[in-house]
Chains A and B, each alone.
Chain A
Amino acid sequence: MDAAIEIVNPGWLSLVVDAGRPGFAHMGVPRSSALDALAFAALNRLLENTPGTAALEVFGTEFALRFSGDVTAAVTGARTAAFLDGAQVEPWATFDAKAGSTLRVAQVLEGFRYYVGFSGTMELPPVMGSRSTNLECTFGGLAGRPLVRGDRIALAGCRRVARRSVPASHIPAMGAPHVLHLLDGPEKELFTADSFDKFCNIEKNLWYSVSTKSNRTGIRLQGEPLSFARTEKGGIVSEGLLPGTVQVPPDGAPIIVLFEKTMGGYARAGVVASADLDRLAHLRPKDRVMFDCVSPGEALELSDARGSYVSSLYKNIGG
């Protein structure tokens, strides 16, 4: 079944993403994967796709695309008010789109980034094993750039898929304020004990605000800067970085590293617990963020709990 999508309105930013490019970090190539891994994986389960099938990652309203050919599609991630030719489309659920119909996202109700997937494979050449867009270096995705009005992407192997949905009660919470559990980072000792404690002790009630300068590379936070214990301001010899690391440049304003950097030279105050990584996709400019320090044992408990939640979500999808 031949089908395609055509972008009518890209919203603020829409990109082709998939599971990214693991295994190339030693040559400086970042993962560039879908930021909300659960929403992305659930999307492909709903659509009975091979895990890792590329989808669109979008933020902002007014995103719209036209289908040519009959396709089953779904929208996961941020909770949206979306319409297929005027009929409301349920979030985190498959829907059948007929040739000529238009999907439009009118509103984002909770969260930030949403994922639009199809029951077929986008006919785009994989680059280094992935269709994810590396925006900074302009490769992957569609010509390495964000989608614009008029872009047309052919879909191969489209088929009709049974109606499936994630019950509303199982859709993850994505709204602000965000409390992020944080493990100590390798350079915790470079900060004054007072400053570090204030930064990630929830009893101190210290909130940060997401800066409008945030992007897919990093989430910049505004609020009380961290203080370095010594005057050299904590620059370190550059080394490998993990996603979710909270880096602190000399000005003391924390930056949460996402999936676009493999090395860094700023002091690493903490690392966001793996159970909270998907949440990072939903930090919108001006959202409030607080850090809550946890021990490795507590992080493991959170990760186990997250694992059970993900399993039960998948069980609800069935298939």
Chain B
Amino acid sequence: MEILPYGENGLRLVFGSEITLETHALVRRAYLYLSAAGLPGVTDIIPSFTTCLLVFDGSRTSFEKLAGAVRERRGEMAASAWGEARTHEIPVTYGGEFGPDMDTVCAYSGLTEEEVVECHTSAVYTVFAVGFLPGFPYLGPLDKKLFVPRLDAPRVKVPEGSVAIAQLQTGIYTFDSPGGWRIIGRTRIRPFDPEKPPYSLFAMGDQVRFVSA
């Protein structure tokens, strides 16, 4: 683990450079441990694929103080308890009007639509990070057979609930938004509701399985 400054109010914990389940496990442990530790002056902790970003209030702490506090707790953090991951089952209507990129994905992969659906629904995915949009789960790893590049020019509006893939990731658009991933289906589940705590269905580290509706 490297501890690096980012601007005047950021401290990055860097656990690797590649998207792997091993790196994810380290990020998740640090995130859960540090969220519970409540270090003074830390306003946000943003876990992602390979790093954890601690955002802090410079009037209450400093990079040096915070880095010291993290280093001190290193051993305890590494040995900390591993929270039970939740599993979500997400019903998806694949293809047709809800999956405008299904044909492209079939052409790219050389698979039939049934095979694409079979492949997409047969894996259990890990939520590597939540971001891009509120509640948007970055899910992976996706089967290499389904590898498609992002769109060259992102769509202006991807409808809420769209289930999409790009490279070795898959995700769910939680709001109408611009987006460059390939849309293969849609779910009626609303994974984010700003009016209702706990707001986000998904948390980093959760497990997700798609089922064909």
Contacts and interface: CB of A to CB of B under 8 A. Distances in A.
A28 B46 CA distance: 8
A183 B47 contact: no
Interface string B41-84: 00111111111110100100000000000000000000000000
Contact of B203 (A25, A27, A186, A268): A27
Contacts of B35: 26
A127 B58 contact: no
B9 A240 contact: no
B52 to A, nearest CB: 8
Given A26-B46, A239-B50, A263 B129 contact: yes
A67 to B, nearest CB: 30
Interface string B114-130: 00000000000000011
A53 B200 CA distance: 26
Contact of A136 (B47, B55, B175, B203): B175
A23 interface: yes
A239 B130 contact: no
Q: What size tier do the contact residues of chain B reach?
A: 35 or more
Contacts of B136: 28
A24 B200 CA distance: 10
Interface in A156-187: 183, 185-186
Contacts of B8: 183, 271, 273-274, 296, 299-300, 303
A262 interface: yes
A257 to B, nearest CB: 11
Contacts of A274: 7-9, 58
A71 B167 CA distance: 56
A29 B5 contact: no
Contacts of B195: 127, 139
A137 interface: yes
A296 B63 CA distance: 11
Contact of A240 (B5, B53, B133): B53
Nearest to B53: A240
Contacts of A185: 6-7
B108 interface: no
Interface string B1-29: 00011111110100001110000000000
A29 B199 contact: yes
Interface string A268-291: 100101100000000000000000
A238 interface: yes
B131 interface: yes
Contacts of B200: 27-28
Nearest to A299: B8
A194 B131 CA distance: 34
B183 interface: no
Contacts of A26: 31, 35, 44-47, 130, 203-204
Contacts of B46: 25-26, 239-241, 262-263
Those 5 A-B pairs whose CB atoms lie nearest each other, nearest first: A240-B53, A240-B46, A263-B131, A271-B7, A25-B44
21 contacts: A22-B43, A22-B44, A24-B199, A26-B31, A26-B44, A26-B45, A26-B47, A26-B203, A27-B199, A27-B200, A28-B135, A28-B136, A30-B134, A237-B48, A237-B49, A238-B132, A239-B12, A240-B48, A262-B131, A268-B6, A271-B8
